């Protein structure tokens, strides 16, 4: 069984795209529709990686990321922010929230698996 990735994304089409691409590459996928549900799922399932949208209802991704980094049981889960932000200072805010990396929307489905392997340390 492959490594487990939790996709936290409120848009069903984006979740489906990410799920299809990552399952094709052998990852086991879990899904949550908002940051609060994502934090709960991370605590319960302890995935290897979280792909998290930043703009979501209920709880945004930056807040969820900070909560995950503050929880001793799940603070070491790798996290990649998925964002449509492209403003000056956004990279710094994302990294300060504890994310290991970030990718911009629209997602390049060819480079996403390479980035995931890099963040997970699968390949040097």
Q: What is the pTM of this model?
A: 0.92
Q: What does the pLDDT look like over 55-77, one tens digit per residue?
A: 888 899 999 999 999 999 999 99
- Average pLDDT, rounded, for the chain: 91
Four-way CATH pick for 4-116: 1.10.1040.10, 3.40.50.970, 3.40.50.2300, 3.40.50.360: 3.40.50.2300
Q: Is the confidence at residue 83, as pLDDT, over 60?
A: yes
- Domain parsing of the chain, residue ranges: 4-116
- Read off φ and ψ for residue 78, nearest 5 degrees: -70, 140
Whole-number pLDDT of residue 16: 95
Beta partners for 7? 31, 51
pLDDT mean over 106-123: 88
């Amino acid at each position: 069984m492959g490594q487990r990735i939790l996709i936290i994304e409120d848009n069903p089409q984006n979740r489906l795209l990410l799920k299809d691409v990552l399952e094709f590459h052998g990852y086991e996928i879990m899904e949550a529709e908002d940051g609060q549900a994502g934090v709960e799922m991370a605590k319960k399932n302890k995935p290897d990686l979280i792909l998290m949208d930043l703009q979501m209802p209920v709880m945004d991704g930056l807040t969820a990321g900070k909560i995950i980094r503050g929880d001793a049981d799940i603070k070491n889960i790798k996290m990649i922010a998925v964002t449509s932000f492209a403003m000056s200072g956004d990279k710094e805010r994302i990294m300060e929230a504890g994310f290991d990396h970030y990718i911009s929307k629209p997602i390049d489905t060819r480079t996403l698996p390479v980035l995931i392997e890099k963040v997970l340390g699968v390949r040097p």
